[in-house]
Amino acid sequence: MPRTALGVMIQAMREQRGLSQRELGRLAEIDHAYIHRLESGDKEAPSEDVVAKLVRTLKLDKRDADILKFTAAHPKADPGLIEYVAKDDRTVPYEVFTMAAGAVYRADKRPDYAKVIARARRILEEEQQEQDDGG
């Protein structure tokens, strides 16, 4: 089964915390085999309760919690974008991520994530400027 954005996100956040799947499962009170299935893409749609337990146990900040929730709700999100954003050292805000995720999802070929993120930033900045100008 191919990797999913949710699986990539869970694994990246788990590894940032230095936890094994078994340790995360014990701390979150979730079967470690279920965590493995989520990470490998065998399962795609965890309940809100499971997502909340993962957010709490992984001690995710608002941005990462929102991205995890997004990937749980959008199983077709691009795993490559998640890998890019998870490694970006917090420079991609959630709003830019969601716009990029929509653009990446519609693309036919493997996107250049840096360009997609830059384009999303530019669009959001232009929209903000129009609002600031009263338009």
Residue type, 14: R
pTM score, whole prediction: 0.88
State the total domains in the chain. Answer: 1
Place of tokens 């959630």: 94
Task: Answer for the pair 110, 86: CB distance below 8 angstroms, yes or no.
Answer: no
Distance CA 113, CA 100 (A): 8
Q: What angle do CA 14, 23, 83 make, to 5 degrees?
A: 15
C-alpha dihedral, 66 to 72 to 74 to 75, nearest 10°: 150
CATH number at residue 49: 1.10.260.40
User: In terms of Cα–Cα distance, which of 111, 91, 109 is closest to 101?
Assistant: 111
By residue range, what is the domain housing residue 60? 5-132
Residue type, 37: R
Q: What is the pLDDT along the chain (135 residues), one digit of tens a residue?
A: 578 999 999 999 999 999 999 999 999 999 999 999 999 999 988 999 999 999 999 999 999 999 999 999 998 889 999 999 988 777 899 999 999 998 765 656 778 899 999 999 999 999 888 888 875
Task: Answer for the pair 57, 39: CB distance below 8 angstroms, yes or no.
Answer: no
